[in-house]
Structure 1
Amino acid sequence: MAESNCTQVTEFSLMGFTEDPVTQATLFLIFLLTYLVTILGNFGVIVLIRASPQLRSPMYYFLGNLAFVDLCSSTIITPKMLVDFISEKKGIAYAGCVAQVFIFDLFGMTECFLLAMMAYDRYVAICHPLVYPLVLSPKCCFQLVTGSYLVGLANGVGQTIGMSRLSFCGSSVIHLFFCDISPLISLSTSDTTLSHIILRTSASLFGVSSSLVVLVSYVAIISTILSISSAEGKRKAFSTCASHLTTVSIFYGTSCFMYLKPSSDSSKEEDKWAAVLYTVVTPMLNPLIYSLRNKEVKEALRKLLLSKPKMFCSLCKQGSPCPGKPALSWV
């Protein structure tokens, strides 16, 4: 609870990467390009999956939602960071900080579980291919994705409630380029017990459980692949999960470095760049990884680019030419 003699902070200062104007301009251009690639890549994946009948399998249903989550999580962080590069005052209002914590934690945890669901999808496809259509039915996939968003929502609400009970009467300087719950807890001048409990419970209950699903799934996948006698069979089996394994390695690697590494004053600069990988680079890499390493995605993109739109009669819906009914529309 707030202290009686406390003057509550109404705005936080975000520490940038450097004060040198030339370096700031260079970083601004780099991060702007990264954000544009993120937007185009993830939006392109969503459009491609919706427009391509051959990409209607459960794996691409999960991938489309992953692209949406990456779009949202990147958008809540990067535009504000870009503005700070060209602004003298690098501040964020308390309400804006709360919004960043809520949305970032919502989509961050959602991504954890989406990656876990994608690992489970690869496990069923490789280890139990005969029952794959039955186990991962459209209804089941919808329930798994909905559950991922609900877990993310619970995490976001919990972290926001914990932050709302904190008092900030001392320093208002956050040594990151966005509002994250961990540095905010360290800035608080009030009792942080509840916030620590929520943070640790969330990490233990949600983070560990999703990572265990990934770990167990890939242990079973690797065991199954090694039991395949032919080298070609092993290669084909591994190629179906190589993109997801790459994505998981990047996401969990940067996340563990960011949140499990012991904090110290000497590591603040390292934390900033680890946060860049986690919040900016990873959302950009995901669509590139799935595009460059996935033959089905590349083939679907090729067909979409080479396909020609057909003209249909707007009245009888028959292909052109339609005798006696020249009114045509593009569909």
Structure 2
Amino acid sequence: MTRRAVALCAGIALGLAALWPGLTDAHPLNGVVPSHALRLTLSEGALTADYSLRVPTHEIVQELNALDLDAARRGLTRQDSDAFIAEKLDELRDGLVLRADGAPVPWERLPLRAPTGLGNVRHVQFDQQLQATLPPGVTTLTISNGNLPDLLSHHMMELVVVGPLWLQDCSLWTLEEGRIRQDRGGRWGMEESGRELTITLAPAFGPVRRGLWRLNNPVVEGPRPAAEARVVPALTRARDGDLPELPLAVAILAAPFAAAAASRRALPVGVLCAALIGLAGAWTGGVATITAGLVGVGIGRLGAPPPLLAALGRVGLISAGAAAACTLGLRWLNP
């Protein structure tokens, strides 16, 4: 019974392997151990998963040997093979668990675009495309791969984003000081952590915010890597090095603002601008503005500033207010 199952499995696999060119180059170690490739496409209201599992042929042979005796005696027919593949695909689909904010979300299998369950004497590959409808307002997605939990396996996950969607975080990233230092998307590994992926979405944008965002961040129509869809938090985005022009501009405007601050009535407005800039994350600009304001108080004690300095001060004060408004706008667009 074992030899017959091996011969039938190997014969079918070798006969159909020609339909799958380049199969042996798609996964590491040429299929010696199981390998899971999961490519996710996130769009508005939907998540699509292209899931490919390559299993060593001897593992499939063991499953075939567990078929009922009548099937083993008469040989593995095409109908038996199709039924086995369909059952296997259902099992693999159920092993891929999707949760949206902790609640399970079912997958729907899309029509196959190519034959699946093919391979050779070394490995058999199962491919399927799944799609899930996401609930409105979802913020966290978790995908857990529970297939073949007892076998040491290779894992690869890749995430792309389509349309006006933005991410706050993804477990594929290693962040340092708010920046992506390592992106494991599309890379193979054998760590058990590769079985789970967590995606944190940015809050949904309204039509006004979305329109303003598009002015400065035109969305590529096709899929883009998840790292390019990341919304940097405002406290990081406005930090020195990310937006150096903002603190620099406010620092340059600090000198004329100092003259404007000679007027006691202008000082509270200047301090408010500095506080707003600082709260939005441009700490250099905020400190420079407050420092200039304090210098202006000292100037004010010497007497009223000359008309030219007063005029320059008013321009600086208006500019500082504009800088504060722009910084707050960045914070509004980057929750």
More helix by share: 1
Which structure carries more strand by proportion?
A: 2
Q: Which has the higher contact order (CA 8 A, sep 6+)?
A: 1
Structure 2 length normalisation: TM-score? 0.24
